[in-house]
Amino acid sequence: MNSIKIKLSLIANSIAIFALSILSIISFYFTKDSLYQSTLYTETELLKATQISIEDFRSRNISLLNTLEKDILNLPYEALNSQDNIINNAGAILKYYRNSGNLLAVYIGLDNGENIVS
């Protein structure tokens, strides 16, 4: 009687081990696939957000440069004919753009290679 109980217990435990092994393999496969899909979706959304942010940054900077160009070109020729005149007349415009645009620096390059920085 004792031997039959041990044999039945051994068979039942073997079936349980086999079933749990199959269940764990299937669970691992579906969890891995689900995790992969979730990570792929998250990273794709992050890249889309980054792309939109970069495009907005670029378009904002181009817009700022175009308006800065118009403002400087609206100054009379006498205000831009020498380095001192540029500093005196365009310096305030550069400083205004730097402060209002929340920029690190705004500058104009001169013919001799020097920069006038806000």
- Is residue 73's pLDDT more than 70? yes
Greater confidence, 78 or 113? 78
Structure confidence at residue 95 (pLDDT): 87
Interval 42-50 mean pLDDT: 97
Six-digit token pair at 52?
Answer: 């939109």
Residue 19 lies in a domain: yes
Residue type (1 letter), 94: L
Packing angle of the helix pair 2-73, 83-100 (nearest 10 deg): 140
Are both 47 and 85 inside the same structural domain? no
Single pTM value for the model: 0.59
pLDDT of residue 1: 62
- pLDDT tens-place string over residues 108-118: 877 777 777 77
What is the domain extent for residue 5? 1-63
Domain-terminating residue out of 42, 63, 84: 63
Q: How far is CA 73 from CA 22, 66, 81, 98, 99, in A?
A: 76, 11, 12, 18, 20
* 108, two tokens: 């104009």
Q: Return d(Cα 110, Cα 118) in angstroms, integer.
A: 14
Question: What does the pLDDT average to over 9-16?
Answer: 93
